[in-house]
A and B are shown apart, each in its own frame.
Chain A
Amino acid sequence: MYGGGNVFEAMKATALAEEDPKELAKFEARIDRGEKIEPKDWMPQLYRKQLIRMIEQHAHSEIIGALPEGTWITRAPGFKRKLALMAKVQDEVGHAQLLYSAAETLGKPREQMLDDLVTGKSKYSNIFNYPAFTWADSCFISWLVDAGAIVNQVANSKGSYGPYCRALERICAEESFHLKYGHHCVIHLATGTKKQQEMMQAAVNRWWAPMMHFFGPSDKISVHSDILMRWKVKMASNDECRQQFLDMYVPKIWELGLTLPDENLHKNLETGMWEFTEPDWEEFKRVINGDGPCNKERLAVRRMAEERGRWVRKALLAPKTKYVAPLA
Chain B
Amino acid sequence: MNTEALKDLLYKIADDQLILGHRNSEWTGFGPLLEEDIAFSSMAQDKVGQSWQFYKILNELGESDPDTVAFMRNADQFHNCKFVELPNGEYDFSLIRHFLFDTAEGIRFNMLSTSSYEPVAQLAKKIKGEIKYHTMHANIWIKQLGSATEESIGRLQQALDYAMPYALGIFETSKFEADLKQEGIFDGEEALKAQWLTQIGEIIAETDLRMPEIQSLQPQLGGRYGEHTEHLQPLVEEMSEVFRVDPTADW
Contact = CB atoms under 8 A, between A and B. Distances in A.
Interface of A: 63, 66-67, 70, 72-79, 81-83, 86-87, 89-90, 93-94, 96-97, 100, 135, 185, 188-189, 192-193, 195-196, 301, 304-305, 308-316, 318, 320-324, 326-328
Contacts of A96: 34
B245 interface: yes
B10 to A, nearest CB: 16
A111 to B, nearest CB: 10
Given A83-B45, A315-B145, A315-B151, A75 B246 contact: no
A313 B246 contact: no
Interface stretch (B23-31, B101-109, B168-176): B23-31
Contact of A309 (B22, B32, B44, B246): B32
Contact of A73 (B25, B36, B241): B25
Contacts of A322: 143-144, 147-148, 206
Contacts of A313: 32-33
B189 interface: no
Nearest to A135: B242
Contact of B249 (A72, A94, A195, A301): A195
B32 A312 contact: yes
B53 to A, nearest CB: 10
Contact of B144 (A74, A315, A328): A315
B70 interface: yes
A86 B45 contact: yes
Contact of A328 (B35, B44, B70, B136): B136
A310 B151 CA distance: 11
B90 A308 contact: yes
Contacts of B241: 75
Given A74-B25, A196-B249, A321 B48 contact: no
A210 B127 CA distance: 43
Contacts of A318: 148-149, 152
A324 B140 contact: yes
A305 B151 contact: no
By CB atoms of chain B within 10 A, which of A83, A192, A193, A308 has the most? A83
B250 A311 contact: no
B155 interface: yes
Contacts of A316: 144, 148
Contacts of A72: 242
Interface residues of B, number: 51
A49 to B, nearest CB: 24
Contact of A188 (B37, B90, B250): B250
B149 A89 contact: no
B225 interface: no
B148 A89 contact: no
By CB atoms of chain B within 10 A, which of A96, A100, A188, A327 has the most? A327
Contacts of B41: 86-87, 89-90, 93
Interface string B81-101: 000000000110000000000
A320 B147 contact: yes
B117 interface: no
Given A312-B152, A315-B145, A67 B29 contact: yes
B137 to A, nearest CB: 10
A55 B206 CA distance: 41
Contacts of A309: 31-33, 36, 91
Contacts of A93: 28-29, 31, 34, 37-38, 41
B151 A314 contact: yes
A86 B145 CA distance: 27
By CB atoms of chain B within 10 A, which of A70, A73, A97, A315 has the most? A315
A82 B48 contact: yes
Given A320-B148, A321-B144, A322-B144, A311 B155 contact: yes
6 contacts: A75-B238, A79-B66, A79-B67, A83-B52, A93-B28, A315-B149
